[in-house]
Amino acid sequence: MATEQIISSLEALLEAKHDALPSGFNPTRFVQNCIAYLPEIRNWDRFNAEDLAIQFFKGAVLGLDFLAKECHIIAEGSGVRFQTDYKGEMKLAMKHSVRPLLTIYAKNVREGDCIEEAVIEGRPVINFNPLPFNNSSISGSFAVAQYTDGGMVYETMSAEEIEAVRTNYGKNPGSDTWDKSKGEMYKRTVLRRLCKTIEIDFDAEQRLAFEAGSEFDFSKQPRPQQRSPFEEKEVGPDEVEQG
């Protein structure tokens, strides 16, 4: 399949849905970056040009850069799908949070690291002291969002919780991405959970692309006696702070 077909299909999409693109979007540069990214897609030349263009377009709508690894196209069987990356999700939260963010990040906690959660004078506090160059197994992950007004929210998930989400709701839980990039996938999972507590100002097209870029499908039925950790809402930092 010639790259010219992909370019033609992608340029047609960008032109037809110009109003859905972010302000300042550079279509020429975006198309060039997409073509340069093609070798990252396993057996990319076996897939339909229009299908690839549609997945690339989702990244355009969100203003994400494939070459910068802010998002990816995943080859699965006879098809391809769009997926946001940890870096891309941080970028989107920073840009589209209704309540301005100062910073947002996620960290993995390994065996031997020390993580402490506390509420001091009605405000949530999280302290993390990792061992230097710790290569032990990941025991869990956490994500923190700090607002410019001084507020803070965070989420924590144990490795067992993350694996439960992967098993019950993963679009492709057996993907080698989970094994090759476990640390990034863990951080991405807890960050996506944190983002559910942050009010994000997406338009309709962006929200569809963002949801499509998730690694998880929460319309799937969980195994008996199990609930999604994403849906189990405990008393979080916002509730404590408002206390």
Res. 65: pLDDT tops 50: yes
Inter-residue contact 64 to 94 (CB < 8 Å): no
Region 17-28: mean pLDDT is 94
Cβ-in-10-Å burial (0-12, 13-18, 19+) of 71 comes to buried
Give a yes or no: residue 22 inside a domain. Answer: yes
Q: Which domain holds residue 41?
A: 3-84
Domain presence at residue 167: yes
Q: What are 68-96's pLDDT values in tens digits? A: 999 999 998 889 999 999 999 999 999 99
Identify the burial level of 109 via C-beta atoms within 10 angstroms of its C-beta, where 0-12 means exposed, 13-18 middle and 19 or more buried.
Answer: buried
Closest CA relative to residue 85, chosen from 216, 218, 229, 213? 213
Residues 47 and 110 in one domain: no
Identify the domain boundary among 64, 84, 104.
84
The token pair that represents 104 in the structure block: 């947002």
- Looking at residue 179, what is its pLDDT? 82
154 in any annotated domain: yes
The residue from 84, 111, 127 where one domain ends is 84
- Assess if residue 228 is contained within a domain: yes
- Whether the per-residue pLDDT at 102 is higher than 60: the answer is yes
Q: What value does the mean pLDDT take over residues 190-218?
A: 91
pLDDT recorded at residue 170? 86
pLDDT > 70? residue 228:
no
For residue 239, give the H/E element and its range: helix 237-242
The count of structural domains within the chain is: 2
- The verdict on 151 and 38 lying in the same domain is no
Return all residues near 9 (Cβ < 8 A) that are at least 6 apart.
49, 50, 52, 53
Predicted pLDDT of residue 227:
47
Does residue 234 share a domain with residue 122?
yes
Domain stop point among 54, 84, 114: 84
Distance CA 93, CA 208 (A): 15
Instruction: Give pLDDT, residue 241.
Output: 41
Q: What pLDDT is recorded for position 139?
A: 98
Is 161 found in the same domain as 80?
no
Q: Is 183 exposed, middle or buried (0-12, 13-18, 19+ CB in 10 A)?
A: middle
Percentage of residues of the chain with pLDDT beyond 70: 89
* Maximum C-alpha span of the chain: 62
Where in the chain does DSSP place strands (E)? 71-76, 79-84, 101-110, 114-120, 123-129, 138-147, 152-158
